[in-house]
Amino acid sequence: MIRTVAVEGYRSLHDLVLELGALTVVTGGNGSGKSSLYRSLRLLHACSTGALAGTLAQEGGLASALWAGQRRRGPVRLRLGVQHGPGHVRGRLADDDVAFGYALEVGLPQLGTGSPFVRDPEVKAETVWVGDAPRPRDVVAERRGPSVRARDADDAWVQVPRDPDPTESLLTELVDPLLAPQVLLVRERLRAWRFYDHVRTDADAPARRGSVLTRTPVLAADGRDLAAAVATIRHLGGGDQLAEVVDRAFPGSVLGLGGTDEHATVSMTQDGLQRPLSAAELSDGTLRFLLWAAALLTPRPPALMVVNEPETSLHPDLLPALAHLLAAAARRTQVVVVSHAPALVDALGADADVPADTRHVALGKELGETVVAGREGPLDVPAWHWPGR
């Protein structure tokens, strides 16, 4: 599992190192940097899908994402790093014991190159290593500006002849199973992260429309295939757990499926009603809870599940049931929950099923910079080493 995440120069995350547990709960006041942390994890994931430039562009370009405060050292750069394992989550494959790390540094492109894409990020440096730190002998692939090299099967450095796309990561630019198999391994690990953030539940939300009944082990990020995801959970043996979760949240209610194969929708039979209500008729909070249930009870758990403010539009009464869902998910996969709601954090604390390796990170802000509450000095910061520049 992911042990450590490091972010530097990204919005209010001027210099942040976090250790993750099987379940990591991140809280903090408005503007403390919770969403920035969520987005920085998304950026790391984007490195593995070739969407780094596009993801940064969507949030206004690199210039807006770079830390706007004073730098303590070095040029204005955005750095992201992650250290994986060793150690494993219960029930996961043995090869999860592989330890590896990845670090990326992006900055603004040099002016005067004639490129019209002055808002695009430029990857300045990148390092992939196996082992628990980027020691020179453990580095397996490296990029310094346009120069890329990788270690071959005999451990000798080989210069990669092709110039990489300056705006995208080596994880998608160096795809060579013979020359750099570990780069592929790291790419696959980061690619297997999954994110859910404010799934729409308004009147026109995709989740309110029906979906074709097709095998759907992973709920779409916008929830449009809720009915198919529910059908898949039931088909693959998760029906009892799903029913239990729904009953815990809405005592006496029963989740069902209605419509046709081409236009299936979830439905809820509720106490006192003569007919089940379809997705279009459910309240925002009810629909949102069902979306969380379908997302978190996925029959195909990701390597890492990151959820942003899952409590949004849920009544406090539902938070214990949501906490229970999150705890159950964290027993099958590593989970990061970014939350606004102290009540959700309390409910997670009270849930008997939370994994032993649960961490609570409270973010705060000092002089515009995100800080972790309770850290007194440098000794309290988890170990992290950026690769040499």
Ligand X SMILES: Nc1ncnc2c1ncn2[C@@H]1O[C@H](COP(=O)(O)OP(=O)(O)OP(=O)(O)O)[C@@H](O)[C@H]1O
Look at residue 238 and give the partner it binds from ligand X, Mg ion, none, a contact being a CB closer than 5 to 8 Å depending on partner kind: none
Q: Which of 120, 229, 222 is nearest to 166 (CA)?
A: 120
Query: What is the identity of the amino acid at 112?
Result: G
Look at residue 113 and give the partner it binds from Mg ion, ligand X, none, a contact being a CB closer than 5 to 8 Å depending on partner kind: none
Cβ closest to ligand X, residue 36 vs residue 169: 36
Q: Which residues bind ligand X (CB under 6 A)?
A: 11-12, 28, 30-36, 64-69, 340, 368
Q: Does 35 bind Mg ion (CB under 5 A)?
A: yes
Cβ closest to Mg ion, residue 293 vs residue 338: 338
Look at residue 146 and give the partner it binds from ligand X, Mg ion, none, a contact being a CB closer than 5 to 8 Å depending on partner kind: none
Q: Is 135:101 a contact under the CB 8 Å cutoff?
A: no
Cβ closest to ligand X, residue 54 vs residue 69: 69
Look at residue 12 and give the partner it binds from Mg ion, ligand X, none, a contact being a CB closer than 5 to 8 Å depending on partner kind: ligand X
Find the shortest distance in angstroms from Cβ 338 to ligand X: 7
Residues in a beta bridge with 335: 23, 305
Find the shortest distance in angstroms from Cβ 67 to ligand X: 5
Cβ closest to ligand X, residue 360 vs residue 385: 360
Look at residue 33 and give the partner it binds from Mg ion, ligand X, none, a contact being a CB closer than 5 to 8 Å depending on partner kind: ligand X
- d(C-alpha 131, C-alpha 149), whole Å: 18
Look at residue 67 and give the partner it binds from Mg ion, ligand X, none, a contact being a CB closer than 5 to 8 Å depending on partner kind: ligand X
Alpha helix (H) residue ranges in the chain: 34-47, 52-58, 62-65, 170-173, 181-191, 226-233, 239-249, 284-296, 319-330, 342-350
Find the shortest distance in angstroms from Cβ 191 to ligand X: 24
What H or E segment, with its residue span, contains residue 361? strand 358-366
Cβ closest to ligand X, residue 32 vs residue 333: 32
Find the shortest distance in angstroms from Cβ 359 to Mg ion: 19
Q: Does 312 bind Mg ion (CB under 5 A)?
A: no
Strand pairing report for 193-197 and 304-308: parallel
**What is the b/e burial string over 46-68, where b = at least 16 CB atoms within 10 angstroms of the residue's CB?**
bbbbbbbbebbbeeebbeebbbe
Report which DSSP code applies to 331. Answer: T
How many helices (H) and strands (E) the chain has is answered by: 10, 17
Residues at the contact surface with Mg ion, assessed by CB under 5 A: 34-35
